[in-house]
Amino acid sequence: MRESTGGTRERIKAVALELFTEQGYEKTSLREIAERLNVTKAALYYHFKSKDEIVSSFVDDRLERIDELVTWAEEQPATRETRRELIARYADAMFTDDHPSVMRFFEQNQTVLKSLTAGQQMRGRMMKLASALCRGDDSPAAQLRAALSLFAVHSSWFAVRTPHITDAERRTIALEVADELLAAIGQPNGSGKPA
């Protein structure tokens, strides 16, 4: 029985992500990806013409999730509860399936991502998400707190180095730190407490 095209694409993405994380994006060739999959380079080219296309495919998945979150946030009131729900939804989207591998790839290949269109798109979308988090407070401090709250979710994958920590525990810690940052947004004195 032949595997579906969608299933093959997902296998290619998973193997490429594994190799990019193990050896780095620049040191991994399409030939190595094909060999690990036990397919010809021609079969690989049928699905992806370049490594950039593979990276774009997992970035596109995340861009779609971020766009959905921004759309949702824009339909909500600019309140602390909305901010808390938005960052929780973002964490849920990030703590799924292959996310730890993707985050390791992003962390280890930042220089490459800066030069790829997919990386530039990701940065732009993250700024839109940060803007949604600080909607109603356009102060520089609010902008920074919103961006750092997103970074709290991301950095929990590599900054929290406690052995044997579960994804649920990691998520809880990330959301606690993010909430501390978000609490001050929209407050007159920026302290997280009403003036």
- By the 10 Å C-beta count (0-12 exposed, 13-18 middle, 19+ buried), 138 is classed as exposed
User: For residue 137, what are the CA distances in angstroms to 46, 65, 97, 133?
Assistant: 48, 24, 34, 9
Same domain for 121 and 64: yes
Please give the pLDDT value at position 34.
95
In a domain, 188, yes or no: no
Per-residue DSSP letter, 76: S
Residue 32's domain is classified under what CATH number?
A: 1.10.10.60
Whether 71 and 129 have beta carbons less than 8 Å apart is answered as: no
User: For residue 142, what are the CA distances in angstroms to 50, 71, 193?
Assistant: 39, 20, 14
Same domain for 1 and 60: no
In a domain, 175, yes or no: yes
In a domain, 65, yes or no: yes
Alpha carbon 56 to its chain's center: 13
- Residues 54 and 13: their CA atoms lie apart, in Å, by 6
Other Cβ atoms less than 10 A from the Cβ of 166: the count is 8
Same domain for 81 and 16: no
Per-residue DSSP letter, 109: T
Question: For residue 151, what are the domain limits?
Answer: 55-182
Name the domain count of the chain: 2
pLDDT tens series, the chain, 195 aa: 345 566 888 899 999 989 998 888 889 999 999 999 999 999 999 999 999 899 888 788 888 889 999 999 999 999 999 999 999 999 988 776 556 677 777 777 777 777 778 788 888 999 999 999 999 999 999 999 999 999 999 888 778 888 899 888 989 999 999 999 999 999 887 666 654
Please give the pLDDT value at position 194.
56
Same domain for 64 and 37: no
- Residues 53 and 149: their CA atoms lie apart, in Å, by 30
In a domain, 109, yes or no: yes
Residue 147's domain is classified under what CATH number?
A: 1.10.357
Going 36 to 39 to 44 to 47, the CA torsion angle's sign is negative
Same domain for 69 and 12: no
In a domain, 192, yes or no: no
Instruction: Select from 96, 116, 112, 115 the least CA-distant residue to 157.
Output: 96
Please give the pLDDT value at position 195.
46
Question: Taking the model in full, what pTM does it have?
Answer: 0.79
Same domain for 7 and 75: no
Instruction: Select from 183, 153, 186 the least CA-distant residue to 69.
Output: 153
Same domain for 81 and 168: yes
- By the 10 Å C-beta count (0-12 exposed, 13-18 middle, 19+ buried), 191 is classed as exposed
Same domain for 45 and 20: yes
